[in-house]
């Protein structure tokens, strides 16, 4: 039932956002009882019978061929990330699919940490659940609020939805929230029975109405690259580009780096951040040392 509800919610949300005009269908007068396309219109656009598509939307994707999934994806105008999510959902209910996937061993080896430490830019290793599994000193300095003394691993979703300091850190908090929810939705689609992912989603839904509202939209997105503006509590405002690099053996565990364009105030701020990060490694830092690192605003 859990699988079927996820499939139903995703397909219904995708057809609800497309008008007949956007789908290239002729205008027909009269009142429409649904927002977006009707099931029969999606079936017609995909070249399927109404009965077959209705079964799919009720969660019965098991056994659907690639050609059928592609036809539905075209009819619903899915982007690449949404198409991948549809395939993940279909695999989760395919006949003979194991409901429990073996959990991979920890990807954080000594060599991975060495690679992180050799980087001259902020870098962290994160998984699809948005846990931070490892970081270099600059990565910890950039997300200084994310690394409390806690038994739980630092988690970007918990920080954005449950930590009030995130509002001051992110220039566009709405975009950050939408992105992280969409990443978690894609992660849940790959393995809906992942207990740790389910527990995180349950925790966030219980503690944040904002999260549960966004979760209900069924948006999905992969985290690969982009730009963001942050307001660091020590070095001020920075515009940074982020890039994800998959680790061998698990494409959903990535090294994420943040860089600034050379010669910009943001690049100067990253240099200042590196200096500040060095002071944080020295417990004997004096008040005179601290005064040398003043907030920088751009």
Residue 110: CB atoms within 10 A of its CB come to 7
| Highest mean pLDDT, choosing among 24-38, 100-114, 127-141 | 127-141
Give CA separation, 130 vs 13, 36, 194, in Å.
Answer: 24, 33, 14
Residues in the chain: 298
Structure tokens at 145: 């609020």
Work out the percent of the chain whose per-residue pLDDT is above 90: 68
Task: Give yes or no for a contact between 119 and 257, defined as CB atoms under 8 angstroms apart.
Answer: yes
Distance CA 189, CA 201 (A): 12
User: What is the DSSP-derived secondary structure letter of residue 1?
Assistant: -
Q: What is the mean pLDDT of residues 237-242?
A: 97
Phi, psi of 148 (to 5 degrees): -80, 170
What's the pLDDT score for residue 148? 76
Q: What is the pLDDT of residues 76-86, one digit of tens each?
A: 999 999 999 99
pLDDT of 186 > 90? The answer is: yes
Give CA separation, 31 vs 15, 34, 44, 194, in Å.
Answer: 18, 9, 20, 43
Distance CA 280, CA 212 (A): 37
Domains of the chain in sequence order: 2-92 (1.10.260.40), 110-292 (3.30.450.180)
Q: What is the pLDDT of residues 23-63, one digit of tens each?
A: 998 866 567 777 799 999 999 999 999 999 999 999 888 88
What's the pLDDT score for residue 33? 75
Distance CA 125, CA 6 (A): 28
Q: What is the mean pLDDT of residues 111-137?
A: 94
Please compute, for residue 41, the number of CA atoms within 13 A of its CA located in the half-sphere on the CB side: 21
What's the pLDDT score for residue 101? 55
What's the pLDDT score for residue 290? 46
What's the pLDDT score for residue 286? 46
pLDDT of 145 > 80? The answer is: yes
What's the pLDDT score for residue 41? 94
Residue 179 sits at the vertex; the CA angle it makes with 164 and 92, to the nearest 5 degrees, is 120
Sign of CA dihedral 120, 122, 128, 133: positive
Who wins on pLDDT, 280 or 149?
A: 280
Residues sharing a CB contact under 8 Å with residue 109, sequence separation 6 or more, in sequence order: none
Q: What is the mean pLDDT of residues 104-111?
A: 71
Residue 243 sits at the vertex; the CA angle it makes with 238 and 149, to the nearest 5 degrees, is 70
Residue 82: CB atoms within 10 A of its CB come to 21
């Amino acid at each position: 039932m859990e699988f079927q509800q996820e499939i139903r919610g995703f397909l219904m949300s995708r057809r609800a956002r497309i008008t007949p005009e956007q789908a290239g269908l002729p205008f027909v007068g009269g009142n429409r009882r649904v927002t977006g396309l009707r099931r029969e219109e999606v079936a017609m656009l995909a070249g399927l019978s109404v009965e077959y598509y209705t079964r799919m939307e009720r969660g019965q994707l098991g056994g659907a061929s690639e050609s059928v999934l592609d036809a539905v994806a075209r009819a619903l105008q899915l982007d690449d990330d949404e198409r991948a999510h549809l395939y993940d959902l279909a695999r989760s209910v395919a006949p003979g699919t194991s409901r429990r996937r073996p959990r991979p061993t920890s990807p954080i080896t000594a060599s991975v940490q060495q690679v992180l430490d050799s980087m001259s830019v902020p870098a962290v290793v994160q998984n699809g659940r948005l846990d931070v599994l490892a970081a270099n000193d600059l990565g910890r300095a950039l997300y200084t609020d994310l690394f409390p003394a806690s038994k739980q691993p630092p988690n970007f979703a918990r920080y954005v939805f449950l930590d009030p300091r995130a509002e001051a850190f992110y220039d566009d908090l709405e975009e950050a929230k939408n992105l992280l929810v969409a990443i978690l939705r894609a992660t849940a689609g790959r393995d809906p029975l992942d207990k740790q992912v389910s527990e995180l989603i349950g925790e966030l839904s219980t503690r944040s109405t904002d999260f549960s509202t966004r979760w209900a939209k069924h948006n999905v997105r992969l985290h690969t690259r982009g730009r963001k503006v942050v307001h660091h509590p020590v070095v001020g405002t920075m515009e940074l580009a982020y890039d994800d690099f998959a680790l061998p053996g698990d494409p959903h565990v990535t090294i994420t780096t943040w860089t600034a364009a050379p010669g910009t105030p943001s690049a100067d701020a990253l240099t200042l951040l590196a200096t500040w990060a060095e002071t944080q490694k020295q417990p004997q830092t004096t008040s005179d040392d601290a005064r040398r690192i003043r907030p920088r605003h751009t």
